[in-house]
Structure 1
Amino acid sequence: MGRSRWGSVRKLPSGRYQARYRVDGAWRSAPTTFRTKGDADSFLAATRADLERGTWHDPTAGEITLADYSRRWLSDRPNLRPRTGELYDGLLRLHILPALGDRSLARLTTPLVRSWRADLIKAGRPGPSTIAKSYRLLHAICATAVEDSLIPKNPCTLKGAAVERPVERPTATIGQVYAIADAIEPRYRAMVLLATFCGLRLGELRALRRRHVDLTNRKVSVIEQYQQLSDGTLVLGPPKTDAGRRTVAIPDAVIADLESHLAAWCDPGPDALVFPGATGQPFRVATVQAVWRRALKAASIDTALRFHDLRHTGNTLAASTGASTKELMARMGHASPRAALIYQHATADRDAEIAARISAMINRQTTDGITQD
């Protein structure tokens, strides 16, 4: 057996070689044995080089299980938005930890992650969007483990696994929007119009107050929103991103409906809710869903249309006007151009208009005497 003050190699009864080295005064064994003494010596040399470069990783650091570490990971993020915390907890509990929770971080490998994801896809549930969210969460947890020097690299390296490809949601025509507004209970009429033509989310509408609506200057300010947790608790807070805090111009065609709504359904005072529930408190999601379904039925509109699709409709209409990506981002309250680009690419009518204009240009050029090959 060769031995130095720092490392040693010895031959085992099996004929294989064991390498040991000392860090911070404690002896450690290589994670595997070696076929030859030369292989063991090479391991020691590489380990010594890593220590000198400051890139050495303690192979025993990642022995904590994913279940234990993920709980710590969540508790170390007290500023998570309530709904986000609920989402992460559900993804872990239902889709990640049942298969991977007992594994130590050190034993999470790319093939294991690939197999876990493939099993979710084969099972047919959850849907593709939830699988992508689960993968992104696992990637984030493992990225923190790398930062904490518990594992040397992130095992979540599957190309495309984090990308969500949600099914394209339906949009309503302007006529259908007004048919729903006419059919829905009167106290929700203006909410349907504001959700569509100003692109406000349900939580933003729920938190809207008189002081946020400036009819004189035709503007509505989005400052906060109410999130409804799974137990029914309402939590008031700012929009998800800084871009969510925005001021949106109100189309003139909607002003009269808003004026009538404020007079009929909104209490006086700057802090009065613009869209209070029947009890004067912020409305509940279940209440809106119920009146929404009744309105769709009364207006003979496909029940697959969701309230949130009104925002989708309004954003598509805004894109069809020729609004730039930055303009759409500002109106929609998005920090990333991704969604704005989707709406720009989804406007087939606008594309047809562009084609017609190109055709007109061609016609003008050819009639002016320019010949074609």
Structure 2
Amino acid sequence: MASVEKRVRNGKQTWLARWRDPDGRQRKRSFARKVDADRFLAKVNAEMLRGEYVDPSDPTTFREYAERWRVSQVHRPTTQAHVETNLRRHVYPHFGDRRLNSVRPSEIQSWVTRLTATLSPATVQVLHGIVASIYKSAIRDRHVNASPCEGTKLPKKQPREVVPLRTEIVHSIAETIPERYHALVVLAAGTGMRQGECFGLTLDRIDFMRGTVRVDRQLVHLARKEPVLAPPKTIASHRTIPLPTVVVTALVEHVRRYPITHPEGLIFTDDDGKPLRRTAFSREIWRPTLAAVPDAPAGTGMHDLRHYYASLLIRHGESVKTVQSRLGHATAAETLDTYAHLWPDSAETTRDAVDQVLGRTSTERTDREDVTLRSPSATSRP
């Protein structure tokens, strides 16, 4: 039962509020005025009735709770590593040692503003989303009764229009890159597979007779660990892609020239037969190749070969659903958000459709009027 007691120590008068929390533990808090103690107890009682009570003296720090939350999440290995890195680099230096229930919305807003000065809007949104998820969990666990992330104003992502590579540049990249990786470029440009999906392709996933490739794994890289095969990015990323003849030919020639020696059957490896690492491949193979390709746009990456593949499908009249399926997008909206500007403008088609109907009707009416005006009966008097 809650109560307020008057206490006098060394001539100083205070008021002690006592109550039992939902777990039955005795709690107390001292106030300088009785009215403040009464108000506090009224608030505590109301929160317990609503099931929103949290211990105001909870000493749990943000870091302590965030680490418990992090290890309990059902994340892919790459996502686990990504979350751990972001918390360690960008969140813990600001809030790690703070009591979880002491962080205020204004402090979250200030933190976001500081991050925006050095990081992209997309990265800031990801970081804020991680912290918001932690507080959402903390509310369920009754460590806090409200999230300081509610109402935060986040920087907006600037729309970036995809500009596909020209075919001659794709050809130049494929011909300039070391021969060992020629088929890798052809595969990426001819199937739209992601870099990790290409690096993780094994011989048993290719059906040369039917001309298809099954995508159900990717090569992932974790800090201070060897690359491993893991499920692809999303459920929608599991897909079967038709292989054009040019891709089949390149793969057959690659396997002939570079026999598979990796235990997992990886098709693409380095000179030592080891899995390709993103950073090493970019530094030692991809960037030197681009430097030798005239007119290659600055910042071109392997992902641009995926955009090139999508642009070919769109140019040859494939539907949004087909492009979505081939690329392994989770929704058609994701496909449209990225490539809508590449579909042919329907303005002329709309004009032609209207002209063919309304124009014909208007012409027919004019012809009838002309016939009526030329008819003798139209000019004769009764």
TM class by smaller structure: 0.7 to 0.9
- Number of residue pairs matched by the alignment: 358
Q: Give the CA deviation at 1:127.
A: 2.7
Once the 2 structures are TM-superposed, how far is the Cα of residue 106 of structure 1 from its aligned partner?
0.6
2:370 paired residue number: none
Counterpart mapping for 1:191-206 below 5 A: 191-206=184-199
1:128 aligned partner: 121
Aligned residue for 1:231, secondary structure, equals coil
Partner residue of 1:294?
288
The residue aligned with 1:356 is 348
Q: Structure 2 matches for 1:236-255, cutoff 5 A?
A: 236-255=229-248
Q: How does 1:131-210 map to 2 (within 5 A)?
A: 131-158=124-151, 161=154, 165=158, 167-168=160-161, 170-210=163-203
Counterpart CA distance in 1 for 2:256 and 2:192 is 23
The alignment partner of 1:248 has SS state of: strand
Task: Give aligned-pair identity as a percent.
Answer: 28
For residues 15 and 324 of structure 1, what CA distance do their matches in structure 2 show? 78
Of the candidates 81, 84, 100, which is equivalent to residue 89 of structure 1? 84
Secondary structure at the residue paired with 1:346?
A: helix
- How do residues 270-309 of structure 1 correspond to structure 2 at under 5 angstroms? 272-289=265-282, 290-300=284-294, 301-309=296-304
Alpha-carbon deviation of 1:229? Answer: 2.7
The answer for the alignment partner of 1:54 in structure 2 is 51
1:92 deviates by 1.6
Match of 1:76 in 2: 72
Contact 2:262 2:273 in 1 (8 A): no
Moved more, 5-14 or 204-213: 5-14
Q: Distance in 2 between matches of 1:251 and 1:33?
A: 80
User: Max radius of gyration: which structure?
Assistant: 2
- Following TM superposition, by how much is the alpha carbon of 1:244 offset from its aligned partner in structure 2, in angstroms? 2.0
For the Cα contact (< 8 Å) 1:211–1:270, is it kept in 2?
A: no
Q: Distance in 2 between matches of 1:45 and 1:106?
A: 20
Q: Offset at 1:99?
A: 1.6
Confirm whether residue 228 of structure 1 aligns to residue 224 of structure 2: no
Aligned residue identity for 1:297: A
Q: What whole-Å deviation, never above 9, does each CA across 1:89-111 have from its counterpart, x for those lacking one?
A: 22122211112222111111211
User: Deviation digits for residues 37-65 of structure 1, max 9, x if unmatched?
Assistant: 3x65454344324324433222223x211
Q: In the aligned structure 1, how far is the partner of 2:168 from the partner of 2:151? A: 45
Give the Cα separation in 2 of the matches to 1:52 and 1:269: 63
Q: How many Å separate the matches in 1 of 2:125 and 2:50?
A: 37
- Deviation at residue 253 of structure 1 after TM alignment: 4.3
In structure 1, the residue matched to 2:380 is: none
Q: CA separation in 2, counterparts of 1:43 and 1:293?
A: 64
Query: CA separation of 1:128/1:118 partners in 2, compared to 1, >3 Å: closer, same or farther?
Result: same
For 1:9 and 1:236, the matched residues in 2 are separated by 65
Displacement of 1:151 in angstroms is 0.8
CA distance in 2 between partners of 1:93 and 1:340 (Å): 33
| 8 A contact 2:52–2:142 mirrored in 1 | no
What TM-score, normalized to structure 2? Answer: 0.81
Report deviation, 1:208.
0.7
The 2-side partners of 1:131 and 1:236 are apart by 29
Match of 2:258 in 1: 265
With normalisation by structure 1, the TM-score equals: 0.83
- Measured in 2, the distance between the counterparts of 1:275 and 1:25 equals 62
Give CA-to-partner distance per residue, 1:285-320, whole Å, 9 cap, x none.
245323222332333123421112211222343345
> Aligned equivalents of 1:59 and 1:324: distance in 2?
57
Change (3 A) 1:268 1:29: closer
Contact 1:19–1:33 (Cα < 8 Å) also in 2: no
Q: Distance in 1 between matches of 2:103 and 2:183?
A: 52
Q: How far has the Cα of 1:26 moved from its partner?
A: 0.8
CA contact (8 A) 2:13 2:32 kept: no
Q: Deviations over 1:13-47 (max 9, x none)?
A: 999966443332513238x766x73x654543443
Amino acid at match of 1:178: H
Residue 104 of structure 2 is matched in structure 1 by 109
Q: 1:16 to 1:337 in 2, by over 3 A?
A: farther
Q: Is the 8 A contact 2:236 2:330 kept in 1?
A: yes
Separation in structure 2 between the aligned mates of residue 120 and residue 17 of structure 1, nearest angstrom: 44
* 2:60 aligned partner: 64
**Structure 2 segments unaligned to the other structure (5+ residues):** 366-382
Instruction: Look up the SS of the partner of 2:301 in the other structure.
Output: coil
| Residues 324-371 of structure 1 deviation map (CA, whole Å, 9 limit, x = unaligned) | 444333222233444312134231xx232x222223223323541437
Structure 1 residues 370 and 278: alpha-carbon distance in aligned structure 2, compared to 1, 3 A threshold: farther
Contact 1:132 1:161 in 2 (8 A): yes
Partner of 1:6: 2
Partner in structure 2 of residue 21 of structure 1: 19
Alignment of 1:328 onto 2:323: yes
Amino acid at match of 2:51: G
* 297-306 vs 97-106, which moves further: 297-306
